[in-house]
Amino acid sequence: MSAPLNRLRDLKNLRGGFRRIVRRKWRVSKINFSKVFVRHFGPVPYFDVDSGKTVDLRPFLSSDARKPGISAFMRLKNEEQFVELAIESVIDSLDELVIVYNGCTDRTPDIVEACRLRYPDRIRVFEYTPEIAQLGSVEHERTPMGSPHSMVNYSNFALAKTTRKVAIKIDGDEFYLKEPFRQLTEEIRGGKHSLPIGISGINLWDEEGEIFVNARNPILSGIDKGFFVVTPQTFFVHYRLFELFTYAFGRSAGICFYHLKGLKKDRGLGTYFLEAGKTRFSRERVEVLKSPPLKRWKDFHNLMGNPKTLPEPASLGLRATARAQSSSQK
């Protein structure tokens, strides 16, 4: 056999061996990754903080006892800057908003409680008391998904508290465009969209008093942003850097929100463990999180086509100076 054919045969054998190893590893871990979704086989370990016991998560997600409608769930830690804006931008379009906060040292619980009193029929608030391992840390990597200290368990706790058949995860640093979001929720209630369906947002950034767009990752979408029917197959699982949802939304209903992480006082980095030499994030990823390449809003806006679909952030009260303001200033 010629040398090129020998190399081709060796390459095929190497690839085949790699695939067998990967399949075996996934089978042992009970997690199967694909381009569209993640499957976890068997019972899902979940620490129920209400009972103090480790149980199977799946019964909490059964659709039998769920009411028609749309629930959103929020996980919050030190989100006082924009959380009120986030809530006000979505509350009219939802049947229920479940808010769970953890480890807050700012005014987030007070702001959330004020919102609950304003919308007592739609907002339900819970505190998740166990300390959570930071994303990207060694502790997170080593913490199993069923531990009360896992971001996965915290996320599943928030999801399990929802009571409607359809759900969506919303963060405390997202400002939703009211009309597109309202129209989409009405279409979902009317059965005009098959679920799951994703949504997208624009990653804004504040630099020296001017609003930019994150040029490296201008659009936030895909992994866990969208509407889905709550079932025993929809939940969060563990990944070495962060939590991972069981669906990656392949179809998108378009841009529905502005992501304000880059306008926050700390750029939203307080959630992550980024200490040099100890973080599990790569050096390149840390640099991009801290200081991404930027594109001016006007330049980005011109590239997006129809300007009517994306209002100027300043017209919504999202000025660059908002990074130094509290959430109560609109």
Assess if residue 285 is contained within a domain.
Answer: yes
Residue 214, strand partner residues: 294
Minimal CA–CA distance to 211: which of 315, 304, 318? 318
Query: Does the model's pTM come out above 0.75?
Result: yes
Flag whether 15 is in a domain.
Answer: no
- 38 in any annotated domain: no
**Structural domain for 218, as ranges:** 44-324
Q: Residue 144: inside a domain, yes or no?
A: yes
* Helix (H) / strand (E) containing 1: none
Q: Which of 235, 253, 252 is nearest to 244 (CA)?
A: 235
Q: How many residues does the chain have?
A: 330
| SS3 state at 219 | strand
Specify whether the CB–CB gap between 182 and 93 falls below 8 A. Answer: yes
Domain-located, residue 23: no
Q: 10-residue block means of pLDDT along the chain (330 residues)?
A: 47 41 38 54 92 96 95 97 97 98 97 98 98 96 97 98 98 96 97 93 91 92 88 93 87 92 92 93 93 92 73 84 44
d(CA 97, CA 119): 10
Q: What is the pLDDT of residue 4?
A: 44
22: in domain = no
If one counts the domains in the chain, the total is 1
Q: Spell out a b/e string for 2-26, using b for 16 or more CB atoms within 10 Å of the CB, else e.
A: eeeeeeeeeeeeeeeeeeeeeeeee
Assigned domain for 33 exists: no
Residue 113 belongs to domain with CATH number: 3.90.550
What pLDDT, on the 0 to 100 scale, is given for residue 8?
Answer: 45
- The answer as to whether 150 is a domain residue is yes
